[in-house]
Amino acid sequence: MKHSSLSGVLRFLRDSRGSVAIETLIILPFVLWAYLGTYQFYDAFGTKTRNLRATYTIADLISRQTQTVTPAYIDGLTSLYSYLDHNPPGVWARVTCVSWDPNAGTSGMYYVMWSYATNSNPALDDTTLQSYVPRLPTIAQGDTLIVVETHMIYHPIARLVGMPTLTLNQVVITRPRISPQVAFSSS
């Protein structure tokens, strides 16, 4: 009897029927997780690229303005930005015109000529502008820069791969192209 139970166990261990199904059950979750992760990171980087391109588009449109910019115009550009970015949630933009005063402070200072932010977000002021100074290029007195900031919330498609919800912020700095300054009117 001992011999027959031992041979039955050995026969069971040598039998390979059904091993493909078992291996598939073990490996399939890992393959699906890797596929979802690859797609998730591809989508996140694609969204970040679209976000940056849309921000450059908005900055370019503003830099070519020869007429006075209004809040309605910037709100419309924010709608365009949202459309170009496939209408993500939490979209808002801030446009700021910056100039340089060489006589301010000990070595000169950038200051805000005007600033407008959409969706009840704060406009940029001289104090908060100072955190942007390392990004700003050197300009001559009387020159202006247009600082365009965009913000959106990115929700991952699948939370299984460990990517959190991200806030994508872009800052594009450009000079007015046609006129020396882009004028703004709050009405």
pLDDT at 85: 84
pLDDT at 6 over 80: no
Tell me the pLDDT tens digit for each residue of 81-123: 999 888 888 899 999 999 988 877 677 788 999 999 999 999 9
For residue 11, name the pLDDT band (cuts at 50, 70, 90): confident
Give the alpha-carbon dihedral of 130, 132, 137, 142, to 10 degrees.
-50
Give the alpha-carbon dihedral of 41, 43, 48, 52, to 10 degrees.
150
In angstroms, the CA 24 to CA 27 distance is 5
- Return the axis-axis angle of helices 19-63 and 71-84, rounded to nearest 10°: 160
pLDDT at 1 over 70: no
* pLDDT, mean of residues 124-148: 89
Percent of all residues in the chain with a pLDDT value above 90, rounded to a whole number: 49
Tokens of 5: 């139970």
pLDDT at 99: 92
Tell me the pLDDT tens digit for each residue of 163-176: 898 899 999 999 99
Q: Under a CB-based contact definition with an 8 Å cutoff, are residues 58 and 96 in contact?
A: no
Quote the mean pLDDT of the chain: 88
Whole-model pTM: value is 0.80
| Pairing, β 92-101 against β 109-117 | antiparallel
Q: In what order do the strands lie in the sheet with 109-117?
A: 109-117, 92-101, 144-154, 166-174
Tokens 């806030």 sit on residue: 167
